[in-house]
Amino acid sequence: MKKGIFIAISGPSGVGKNTIADILTERGYGIYSVSATTRKMRDGEKDGKDYFFISTEEFEKKIANQEFIEYTKYNNNYYGTLKSFVQDRLDNGENVIAVIEIQGGMNIKRIFPEAVLIFIMPPSFEELEQRLRKRNTDSEEDILKRMEIARMEIDYRTKYDYTVVNNVLEDTVEEIVDIIKKEIEKRDI
């Protein structure tokens, strides 16, 4: 059985990564990798769907038990990709789409050299800040911190296999679908 492709999508907070991943999974291009996190649940989020929301103590137990493919600390919270969630699906030939920050992206490249890394860029910083504010889910302090992290993250785009600017959502999705198709073809040869 041919293995699935691990697709890691990164990009600054507010760039639209999750919306893109949702559309890709709805259209059958992969299964969304549900990470574990210690961050508080936002309004509208569901445990087991958006994340597995767990305590710091539980997270650290999972680190000790080596239950993560990779994990990181981002804005004072832990986030990690679960082996139990990902490995079986890849082995079953399903693509897994993981939305992770850049440190995770770099670790994935090391662990799964055959993974496809896609970096999503905002059309501009101004647009990014506006999107974060419109989302209305984060405090002012959090928004400023996320903008600061975004400036640093964008420098990492050159280390990704592909960079896509999220200007018009449907075009962005099309571009990523083309990338996935191309990668599948490559593996068929």
Q: Which stretches of the chain bind ligand 5GP, using CB under 6 A?
A: 13, 17, 35, 39, 70, 72, 74, 79-81, 99-101, 103-104
Question: Residue 29 or 85: which CB sits closer to ligand 5GP?
Answer: 85
Question: Residue 16 or 104: which CB sits closer to ligand 5GP?
Answer: 104
CB 37 to ligand 5GP: min, Å: 6
CB 166 to ligand 5GP: min, Å: 14
CB 45 to ligand 5GP: min, Å: 8
Question: Residue 75 or 127: which CB sits closer to ligand 5GP?
Answer: 75
Question: Which H, E and C letters describe the chain, residue by residue?
Answer: CCCCCEEEEECCCCCCHHHHHHHHHHCCCCEECCEEECCCCCCCCCECCCEEECCHHHHHHHHHCCCEEEEEEECCEEEEEEHHHHHHHHHCCCCEEEECCHHHHHHHHHHCCCCEEEEEECCCHHHHHHHHHHHCCCCHHHHHHHHHHHHHHHHHHHHCCEEEECCCHHHHHHHHHHHHHHHHHHHHC
Question: Residue 5 or 146: which CB sits closer to ligand 5GP?
Answer: 146
CB 185 to ligand 5GP: min, Å: 27
